[in-house]
């Protein structure tokens, strides 16, 4: 029995006890810390490390360019370019009725020509024994009256009736090069017929916007700089006044014929005065020729500001 115990004790040698001790489990060695790998790391040359690194450079995507202020400014379009891109004509100006003015001109010119002919026939051809200077003076009076008649009959000449902006190449398709045709703006100036003949159309002139020259703007600048609130108040006051006039016309129907008759007589006397001094007509140069634009009435787009933006202004015309 003692021998068996001694044999068992001999079997548990210090080496075997060392294998089963807890310290052996705590000293677990990893691959990265093993002696063999540490030796391999020390023996590895630096060139091998460089070759192991990736040689391709990382590709960076360039960021999109930030839109500059010049690109926003390039999108700005002038008023002429805006009208040129439309698919329909734009009416800029319509003259008021010139019936009384033309009637006054033709009536006055007829009287002057008739007076000159009758005066010349009755005082020179039928008179006998007159001195030579008397006949010359009477002929001068007849020529003077004929000159008045010519001045009156030329009153309706070169009178502008309408001004229209007509876009060109607005519906043009792409050309053979692949670029679309640039729209252009053309101004149509229609003249009023000097004599109301039914079979003769009115004369029309087609020009570019810069070929129209005004002596002064149709809408003069305000005497002082108005704020947005003041401009809004002025518009509201004008609309209120127009509404009151319309309401007065509708509520006083019985007295409307007398008011219209009074206005008709006033317009007639005013037209007679305009036949002599040409009040209310602005001289406008169109393609090198001067025409007359009535600024006393009618209708204009944006109260005349549209025509001021398109045409040129040259004082002293």
| pLDDT per residue as tens digits for the range 236-270 | 998 999 899 889 888 888 888 888 888 888 888 88
Nearest to 281 by CA among 208, 187, 201, 218: 218
Contact 214, 93 (CB under 8 A): no
Residue indicated by tokens 């704020």 = 227
pLDDT digits (tens, 9 = 90+) for 41-88: 444 555 544 444 455 444 445 445 444 444 443 455 688 888 888 888
pLDDT digits (tens, 9 = 90+) for 95-131: 999 999 999 999 999 999 999 999 888 876 666 677 7
Nearest to 156 by CA among 95, 75, 215: 95
Give me the pLDDT at residue 77, please. 66
Give me the pLDDT at residue 203, please. 92
pLDDT digits (tens, 9 = 90+) for 150-193: 999 999 999 999 999 999 865 444 344 445 567 789 999 999 99
Give whole-number Cα distances, 27 to 21, 30, 33, 40, 87, in Å. Answer: 11, 10, 11, 22, 91
């Amino acid at each position: 029995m003692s021998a068996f115990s001694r044999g068992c004790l001999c079997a548990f040698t210090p080496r075997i006890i060392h294998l089963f001790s807890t310290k052996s489990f705590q000293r677990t060695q990893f691959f990265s810390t093993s002696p063999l790998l540490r030796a391999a790391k020390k023996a590895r040359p630096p060139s091998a490390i460089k070759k192991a690194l990736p040689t391709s450079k990382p590709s960076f995507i360039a960021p999109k360019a930030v839109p500059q202020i010049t690109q926003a400014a390039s999108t700005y379009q002038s008023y002429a370019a805006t009208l040129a891109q439309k698919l329909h004509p734009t009416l800029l100006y319509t003259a008021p009725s010139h019936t009384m003015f033309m009637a006054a001109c033709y009536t006055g010119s007829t009287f002057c020509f008739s007076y000159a002919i009758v005066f010349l026939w009755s005082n020179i051809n039928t008179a006998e024994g007159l001195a030579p200077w008397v006949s010359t003076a009477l002929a001068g009076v007849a020529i003077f009256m004929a000159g008045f008649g010519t001045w009156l009959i030329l009153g309706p000449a070169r009178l502008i009736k309408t001004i229209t902006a007509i876009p060109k190449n607005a519906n043009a398709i792409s050309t053979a090069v692949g670029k679309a045709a640039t729209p252009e703006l053309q101004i149509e100036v229609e003249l009023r017929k000097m004599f109301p003949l039914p079979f003769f159309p009115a004369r029309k002139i087609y020009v570019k916007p810069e070929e129209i020259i005004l002596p002064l703007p149709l809408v003069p600048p305000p005497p002082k700089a108005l704020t947005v609130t003041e401009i809004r108040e002025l518009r509201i006051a004008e609309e209120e006044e127009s509404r009151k006039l319309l309401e007065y016309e509708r509520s006083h129907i019985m007295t409307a014929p007398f008011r219209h008759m009074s206005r008709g007589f006033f317009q007639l006397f005013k037209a007679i005065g305009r036949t002599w001094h040409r009040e209310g007509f602005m001289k406008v140069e169109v393609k090198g020729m001067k025409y007359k634009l009535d600024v006393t009435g009618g209708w204009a787009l944006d109260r005349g500001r549209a025509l001021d933006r398109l045409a040129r202004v040259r004082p002293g015309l």
